[in-house]
Amino acid sequence: MSKSSTTSFHTLPVELFYRILDHQSEYTIVFSMRNICRRFNRIIDSYDRYQTLTEIQIKHNSIGVEEAKTLGDVLSNTTINRLNLQSNAIGCRGARYLADGLKNNTTLTTLNLAYTRIEDQGVQYLADGLKDNKTLRELNLNENKIGDEGIQCLANALKNNTSLTILGLVYNYIGCKGAQYLAGALEGNQSLTILQLGCNKIGYEGAQYIANMLKENTTLTGLELESNEIKDEGARFLADALKTNTTLTALNLRGNIITDIGTQHLADVLKNSMTIMKFNLGANRIKVRGAQYLADLLSKNTTLIELEIWGNEIGNDGVQYIADTLSNNRTLTHLDLGRNSIGEQGLLSLAPALQSNTTLIELNLRQNCTTTQGEQYFMDTLGNNRTLKALWLQYHLYRPNLH
């Protein structure tokens, strides 16, 4: 009688194990096959696909604390440079495992932890990891219920960090104190170029701290402060900082309860700015007078290429001021005037300006008070314009010069 033999994964030849791995997804290899035993780990570590793995995308999944622990170990893999865990419930414990992995990692450049429930405690762990990490360039911590306490720890890490260039903190619980911590860290930081701080509650006092930082900082090029209730007072603080700042190229102040008064402060400074190229004042409370200030800005500024004032109340009279300056402006390429109570009179006031303008590429006029007939008449009067590539009106997107 012949004896039957049994085969175990633990005794499989390495070559056969490789063939099994060839038919597994990266997800399975990382989360189901690692950490079963030391032999498995050694074989996986020597496997070609694992050795050349550069990106892990596991957003909107069921990654929890245990999986985060595995990923913390995976970060010892010296080829991974992008890790996306957006919308997974790793929590603060999971963040701790990842932070431990960051301390010794030398390849990861992008880490997306948006909406992962890490909160203040998790940020404290990550901040500790950042103190030792020298390669991470982009960190997304959006929508994590991070408050001022967590930001204080992160700010302390930023004071000495020399690699991080993009930091996302949108939709958190950051207040005036948190803005103070960040501003203090960034006054001397020499690496961060983009700070995304939108949809928090820093208020005008927090905006003052950010403004004071801008007077000293020489590396930040993009600043997003959307929906932070900075109001006219905060706009005034920022305008004062822009008088001396020579590095910021993009400023987003959308949704900040800024009226014509705050618009005047900003426009007066930006008339002479040689650096700001993108300026967003959408969803504020700008009316005719504010549109006049912005028109004056456009008549004198020679660097601004994108202006967004969507969702204000400039009306027909306000758009007339804008139109008068477009005839001679030679730098603006994108203009958003959507949802501004502009009727057909305002629409038609733009036509002569567009006939002579030679730089505008995109114009948004959606959600205004126009009719199909008025739009068609407007299109017919555009004349010899040869530069406009995208024109959004109430009912249609026109692409007049795509040839």
- Among 59-63, 355-359, 380-384, the least confident range: 59-63
User: Per-residue pLDDT averaged across 219-226, rounded?
Assistant: 99
What is the pLDDT, as a whole number, of residue 29?
A: 59
Cα separation of the two ends of the chain? 83
**Residue from 342, 344, 274, 284 nearest 308 by CA:** 284
What is the pLDDT, as a whole number, of residue 220?
A: 98
Task: Give CA–CA dist 76/53, Å, rounded.
Answer: 12
Q: What is the pTM of this model?
A: 0.91
Q: Assign 403 a pLDDT band (cuts: 50, 70, 90).
A: very low
What is the pLDDT, as a whole number, of residue 15?
A: 64
Read off the pLDDT of residues 25-58 as tens digits, 9 standing for 90 and up.
Answer: 666 656 655 656 666 667 666 656 666 678 888 8
Residue 391 phi, psi (nearest 5): -130, 110
Half-sphere exposure of 287 (CA within 13 A, CB side): 4
What is the pLDDT, as a whole number, of residue 381?
A: 84
What is the pLDDT, as a whole number, of residue 224?
A: 99
Task: Give CA–CA dist 193/165, Å, rounded.
Answer: 5
User: Per-residue pLDDT averaged across 342-364, rounded?
Assistant: 94
Neighbours of 301 (CB within 10 A): 22
Higher pLDDT, 238 or 401: 238
Eight-state DSSP code of residue 245 = -
User: Per-residue pLDDT averaged across 266-280, rounded?
Assistant: 98
pLDDT at 87 > cutoff 60:
yes
**Residue from 281, 310, 306, 283 nearest 293 by CA:** 281
Read off the pLDDT of residues 139-169 as tens digits, 9 standing for 90 and up.
Answer: 999 999 999 999 999 999 999 999 999 999 9
Q: Which amino acid is at 57?
A: Q
Q: Which amino acid is at 150?
A: G
Query: Residue 30, exposed/middle/buried by CB under 10 A (0-12, 13-18, 19+)?
Result: buried
Read off the pLDDT of residues 120-139 as tens digits, 9 standing for 90 and up.
Answer: 999 999 999 999 999 999 99
User: Per-residue pLDDT averaged across 237-245, rounded?
Assistant: 98
User: Per-residue pLDDT averaged across 108-112, rounded?
Assistant: 97
- Among 8-17, 107-116, 359-368, the least confident range: 8-17
